[in-house]
Structure 1
Amino acid sequence: MDVEEDNIDVNLNSSPREDVDDSFWSDIFDPRNWDSLNSKQIDILAQKGPKTDKSVKGPKDRYRKRFTSVFYTRILSNGEYCDRDWLVYCEQLDRVFCFGCILFTKGHRKGQLANEGCNDWSHMTNRLKDHETSLDHVSSMNNWYELRSRLEKQQTIDKAAQRQLEKEKDHWRKVLFRIVCIVKFLAKHNLAFRGTNGKLYEDSNGNFLGLVEMLAEFDPVIQEHVRRITNEETHVIILIIRFRMNCHFLASSIRSEIVKKIKSSKYFSVILDCTPDASHQEQMSLIIRYVDSSSSQVCIEESFLGFLDVNDTTGQGLFDVLEKDLNFLILI
């Protein structure tokens, strides 16, 4: 299978861009999810603040009262207007919530606005006034503003630990990116991954570890990673796990691409061969021969799709195993 080279950034000192899904932001801004947020999501909310849509109006209740954007504004005793940046209206629940109290109150939260929300629209003005002048609300707002200020200045209490954590995460992202590049290269050229030895800097350790050793000659990221492994700061099992995970994902991708070509060719033939493995389990290799018309040059291809476990070596037994696997491939 041809692997698209455009999918990989040739600059090995960069890491793949991490786009943030819009649905993620919608979820964390929804008051219904605030009790299940982790610390990282709360930090994001602290910096960005709640989302408000002043064009939204709620449904009328039995007293013909409803939520309107008027509640977002507070009139001070001197006649000045002040935005209630802490007030959030949830259309799905038709209730208002206190952003500051729910997310930044330490200990027990008091009042409907800080818990299940409030929809007493007839008395909402007084309820909001009582809430925003309460000691608990003022304290939670101070916690919010202080955290937001510290995050903006990167002056949180655990900033050194956070900085080290981000540095370590960035290192592993870059290591994983390089491993993906190696795996894609080997898959594209149909090269074996493993050798008879599974240790770095030893003979016959295979193409994968050999490429890791080669990259370590000039790439500082892999060089640091290999140094950690050889000094036993990082166990080599981590490298193996990441290698196997990437092999699995790429194998699935390659398999799907081959099946797509087979389906487009309509006609194909099957080549089978049985042999026992080291545990004496009978295995049947499955090879499909087909006409590849996916490119301008039509050619005959033979693609290996894997080994199938066989418990019955009769003609009917082999046919049943083959039929089951082919039906599975149709669904890919």
Structure 2
Amino acid sequence: QDWKNLSIVLNKHENSPAHLESFQKWHWQNVLERLIALIRVLGTQNIALRGTSDKLFEPNNGNFLKFVELMGMFDSVIKEHIRRITSHEIHNHYLGKNIQNEIIQLLATHIKETVLSALKKAKYYSVSLDCTPDISNIEQMTLIVRFVSVTGPFGNAAGSVNIREHFLEFLELKNSSGAGMTELLLQKLGELGLDVARRSG
């Protein structure tokens, strides 16, 4: 209630360790939320993230950093983050390729878990496999699942039936024979917790 000294009290609070620590946490959380959202959009649109440079405001630094630069023109959180980076106030900034890869992996894991959850509710599912060598000449097998998803009361107009098809992952194939592919497939389905036994009822 010391209103006459309010400016002094506020200044003291703003420079207190507790306030500065809380502000730092708030800043990093807001930065991370925006970067995750940006990577989700780029991934959804099948747009490459990186270029030949990994620094802000350089030519050919990729779509991710170019969009960060664009966001900094209109978003106060990213603008402040860029200011801290360019003034060398901070060196760890969440814009590097390692953080990008980690966010991509976390998003991929979440998507995969969502797909597997829906697949396990389906009565039947099928698997499609395709093989192709990668750039290092290692045979890669794609694992794709297809199943029927039923939502809402069956037979009710409010419910819906959808055929869904999802890519799950690439599998390194060391034995490209039919037996080798089958063995790898059964192993992977077991790891994913997918039932390969015939169901009844």
TM-score (norm: length of structure 2): 0.70
Mark the CA change 1:228 to 1:193 in structure 2 (over 3 Å): closer, same or farther: farther
Aligned to 2:31: 175
Aligned to 1:287: 144
Deviation at 1:233, TM superposition (A): 4.1
SS at match of 2:73: coil
Deviation at 1:198, TM superposition (A): 5.2
Aligned to 1:301: 164
- Structure 2 CA distance for aligned equivalents of residues 193 and 253 of structure 1: 20
Aligned to 1:326: 189
Q: Deviations over 1:17-70 (max 9, x none)?
A: xxxxxxxxxxxxxxxxxxxxxxxxxxxxxxxxxxxxxxxxxxxxxxxxxxxxxx
Aligned to 2:113: 256
Q: Deviations over 1:63-91 (max 9, x none)?
A: xxxxxxxxxxxxxxxxxxxxxxxxxxxxx
| Identity in percent | 35
TM-score (norm: length of structure 1): 0.45
Aligned residues: 175
Deviation at 1:164, TM superposition (A): 3.3
CA RMSD of aligned residues (A): 3.1
Equivalent residue for 2:76, pick from 215, 220, 235: 220
- 5+ residue gaps, structure 2: 1-11, 153-158, 195-201
Larger gyration radius, structure 1 or structure 2: 1
- Structure 2 CA distance for aligned equivalents of residues 276 and 228 of structure 1: 44
Equivalent residue for 1:275, pick from 106, 112, 132: 132
Mark the CA change 1:292 to 1:204 in structure 2 (over 3 Å): closer, same or farther: farther
Deviation at 1:175, TM superposition (A): 0.7
Contact 1:176–1:242 (CA<8 Å) still a contact in 2?
A: no
- 5+ residue gaps, structure 1: 1-154
Matches within 5 A, 1:1-332: 160-186=16-42, 189=44, 191-197=46-52, 199=54, 200-201=56-57, 202-203=59-60, 205-206=62-63, 208-235=64-91, 238-240=94-96, 241-294=98-151, 296-330=159-193
Deviation at 1:307, TM superposition (A): 0.9
Deviation at 1:291, TM superposition (A): 2.0
Deviation at 1:292, TM superposition (A): 2.8
